[in-house]
């Protein structure tokens, strides 16, 4: 196994924390870089059974010096640190540019200076915009339908330019919608589950017609690892998804069924994206990933949602959610 010393930016977050734990289990030497806070809090890894096996560095992805210092002793980087959440990107587009574009620049520039062996950049299926054909492969046009997606397109294109200009050994991992334990209620599945578990019978959602391709978080993390482990995926964009789709309305009905309850769904105006900004359909073509790795999902949608429900039912976890208000 090459590249034993790995830095994970955003490693205290939703996907990053699961990925950090998975790579520790696989025998890697992991350093997590996450946002500085005066309490020295390690996010979702604060209570992880693996926290004593992880080196933590708190800094700012927007600051080149702190990124460079964090990368100095590493062979490879998984760059997950990003400002996410589409609604907030309407309020503060510049924040997304500074974090997602400049932050990625800092990772690329420091990796170039330190001659890292491998750089994995995390993209998003939102970069495709509404599907112009399905399933969506990596050749699909990129359409910035929100400031968030535009910032991620910019970051991806910057990474590609560093390969073409400096021969930097990059891989761009483009997950479709990931869900699972530790995800914020900004995301659709925790939004639905938290409202139902709080006793609500009328569930507040945005548009019900868009479709999404949903992957359980541990499957997404395994895809990250197998892409990292592949010698044939350098300098490529790689989709991660299940090649299936479900509408938001049908998803809410499925979750209610799994929770053995009846609900009504209200489409709330303050949760609906601007008309031209809504991504109506996303369904993945994962052929490239499957061709070059042995990856396949271990969890179907129902199995993954049940795992999330079991986690959210624990009082300490459910108390972290605010189902009574819209989380931008």
Contact 205, 270 (CB under 8 A): no
Based on the domain organization, do 221 and 73 belong to the same domain? yes
Dist. CA 23–CA 254, nearest whole Å:
32
Q: How far apart are CA 283 and CA 242, in angstroms?
A: 8
Read off the tokens for 271: 């949760």
DSSP 8-class letter at 274: P
Do the Cβ atoms of 165 and 228 come closer than 8 Å? no
Q: What CATH number corresponds to the domain at position 248?
A: 3.90.25.10
**Same domain, yes or no: 61 and 204:** no
Is residue 101 located within the same domain as residue 49?
Answer: yes
User: What's 11's domain CATH number?
Assistant: 3.40.50.720
Same domain, 264 and 230: no
Q: Are residues 49 and 62 in the same domain?
A: yes
Residue 294 maps to a domain: no
Which residues span the domain enclosing 189? Answer: 184-212+244-281+299-318
**Do 79 and 227 belong together in one domain?**
yes
The pTM is what? 0.96
Residue 18 domain-assigned?
yes
DSSP bridge pairs for 247: 211
∠ Cα 224 217 264 (to 5°)? 150
290 in a structural domain? no
Q: What is the pLDDT of residue 3?
A: 45
Confirm whether 51 is domain-assigned.
yes
Same domain, 121 and 146: yes
- In three-state secondary structure terms, 122 is strand
pLDDT in tens, the chain (328 residues): 444 899 999 999 999 999 999 999 999 999 999 999 999 999 999 999 999 999 999 999 999 999 999 999 999 999 999 999 899 999 999 999 999 999 999 999 999 999 999 999 999 999 999 999 999 999 999 999 999 999 999 999 999 999 999 999 999 999 999 999 999 988 999 999 999 999 999 998 989 999 999 999 999 999 999 999 999 999 999 999 999 999 999 999 999 999 999 999 988 887 888 889 999 999 999 999 999 999 999 999 999 999 999 999 999 999 888 877 766 6
Whether residues 27 and 87 fall in one domain: yes
Q: Phi/psi class of residue 243: alpha, beta or left (left: φ > 0; alpha: ψ in -120 to 50)?
A: left
Domain total of the chain? 2
Does residue 324 lie within any of the structural domains? no
Q: Are residues 133 and 111 in the same domain?
A: yes
Rg of the chain, C-alpha, whole Å:
19
- Both 157 and 39 in one domain: the answer is yes
């Amino acid at each position: 196994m090459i590249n034993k010393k790995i830095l994970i930016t955003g490693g205290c977050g939703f996907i990053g924390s699961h990925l950090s734990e998975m790579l520790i289990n696989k025998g890697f030497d992991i350093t997590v870089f996450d946002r500085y806070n005066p309490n020295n809090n390690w996010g979702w890894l604060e209570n992880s059974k693996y926290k004593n096996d992880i080196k933590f560095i708190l800094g700012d992805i927007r600051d080149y010096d702190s990124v460079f210092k964090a990368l100095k002793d590493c062979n490879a980087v998984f760059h997950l640190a990003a400002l996410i959440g589409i609604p907030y990107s309407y309020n503060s587009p510049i924040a997304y540019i500074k974090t997602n574009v400049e932050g990625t620049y800092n990772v690329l520039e420091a990796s170039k200076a330190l001659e890292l062996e491998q750089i994995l950049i995390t993209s998003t299926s939102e970069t495709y915009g509404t599907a112009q054909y399905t399933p969506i492969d990596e050749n699909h046009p990129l359409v910035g339908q929100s400031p968030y997606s535009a910032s991620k397109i910019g970051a991806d294109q910057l990474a590609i330019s560093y390969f073409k200009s400096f021969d930097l050994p990059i891989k761009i991992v483009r997950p479709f919608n990931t869900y699972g334990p530790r995800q914020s209620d900004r995301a659709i599945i925790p939004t639905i589950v938290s409202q139902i578990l709080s006793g609500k019978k009328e569930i507040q959602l945005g548009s019900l017609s868009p479709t999404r391709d949903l992957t359980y978080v541990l499957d997404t993390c395994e895809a990250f690892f197998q892409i990292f482990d592949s010698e044939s995926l350098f300098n490529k964009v790689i989709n991660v998804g299940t090649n299936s789709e479900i509408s938001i309305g049908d998803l809410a009905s499925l979750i209610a069924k799994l929770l053995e309850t009846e609900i009504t769904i209200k489409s709330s105006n303050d949760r609906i994206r601007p008309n031209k900004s809504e991504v109506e359909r996303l369904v993945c073509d994962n052929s490239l990933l499957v061709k070059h790795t042995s990856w396949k999902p271990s969890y179907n949608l129902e199995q993954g949602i049940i795992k999330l429900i079991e986690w959210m039912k624990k009082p300490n976890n459910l108390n972290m959610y605010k189902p009574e208000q819209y989380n931008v």
